[in-house]
Amino acid sequence: MAEPIVVQKAPYILEIEKGTYYWCSCGRSKNQPFCDGSHKVTDLTPVEVTVTEKKKYAFCGCKKTAKKPFCDGSHRKI
């Protein structure tokens, strides 16, 4: 199984609209923290997340979170 690339050691804090998004789990996307299809060369897949209200969310940037796709502070341990 491929290891994800650590993109940054901090979350992406974004205010986003209601809707369905796909969080990049491989770290290869040029559209971080969201998927652009770059995972297709790996066995990793994006994580679907449905946002039910417009507000700020902290998406994991290190790809090590246990609460995918949201930051759980795992970046502090790497």
Tens digit of pLDDT for each residue in 8-59?
999 999 999 999 999 999 999 999 999 999 999 999 999 999 999 999 999 9
The confidence score (pLDDT) of residue 36 equals: 98
Which of 53, 27, 57, 56 has its CA nearest to residue 42? Answer: 27
| CB neighbourhood size of 26 (10 A) | 21
Tens digit of pLDDT for each residue in 59-69?
999 999 999 99
Residues 6+ apart with CB under 8 A from 73: none
DSSP label at residue 30: S
CATH class of 12-67: alpha beta
Q: Are 24 and 39 in contact (CB under 8 A)?
A: yes
Domain segments of the chain as ranges: 12-67
The confidence score (pLDDT) of residue 29 equals: 98
Q: What is the pTM of this model?
A: 0.94
DSSP label at residue 5: P
